[in-house]
Structure 1
């Protein structure tokens, strides 16, 4: 049986630990003051205004950082919102693309039907012209009918 792992202990001053925790909170909340806000350890030590070596001695804080990143990913609140917006826009685009494809197919079908009707109309007009040129016997007009 292995003994339980000991909780990591920070080997930094309380002031440094407080600066790192404040920097971590700002980064997680998407409100950086000194960096671009990406959730990287480089931004953590820069945001806290400590050296990388000093940050590396803050074992408990780094364990919290790693746990948060493992649970929530490296996306900041703004990035997560942006990603959700992009996903929504992609979904809406796919829906509109399907609608356009359906309408395009209906338009092609209507085009085919109109072309067939036009062809039939032309054939009927030609038949009518051919029949009109045949000999027509006029009917004699008898005048108004009288009623008895």
Structure 2
């Protein structure tokens, strides 16, 4: 197997991995991420990516660690919450459409009601009902 990175870079990456996994980082916040791995090692991301065997070891350690389990649980929770949020937004849009339709119907009925009241008032004012007098004068 030909080395994709120099022996010095391998040593830097392995030491950085050990510090991160032990919880004693020197150059990062200590989270178990690949970003922190290459920063802790003081190499570029491209250099780290060429060390595929070290990355495989990193992934194996992180997936078994409590932090890896917590990260997977967090990612699963985020996926579920994103799905729930998408469904809630769709339901809100549907309810807003119903509300808009109801408001349109209410406005039309109110306008029709006002027109009928005006028409009724006009008709009532034109109606003259003669009073009959009682022939006996009462």
- Larger C-alpha radius of gyration, 1 or 2? 1
1:1-148 paired onto structure 2 within 5 Å: 12=10, 17=14, 19-20=16-17, 23=20, 34-35=28-29, 39-40=33-34, 42-47=35-40, 49=41, 51=43, 59-65=52-58, 77=71, 80=75, 81-82=77-78, 84-131=80-127, 134-138=128-132, 140=134
| TM-score, normalised with respect to structure 2 | 0.53
Of structures 1 and 2, the one with the larger relative CO (CA 8 A, separation 6+) is 1
Provide TM-score, normalisation by structure 1. Answer: 0.51
- Taking only aligned residues, the RMSD between alpha carbons, in angstroms, comes to 4.6
Structure 2 unaligned regions, length at least 5: 62-69
Bigger share in helix? 2
Cα deviation code 1:14-65 (max 9, x no counterpart): x964642563697xxxxxx81585944x431323x45459957854222345
Q: Measure how far apart 1:98 and its partner are.
A: 1.7
Aligned length: 116
1:20 partner SS: helix
| Deviation string, structure 1 residues 52-100 (Cα, Å, up to 9, x no partner) | 59957854222345789xxxxxxx9398355654443343223112211
Aligned partners of 1:20 and 1:44 also within 8 Å: yes
Task: For residue 117 of structure 1, report the CA deviation from its aligned partner.
Answer: 1.5
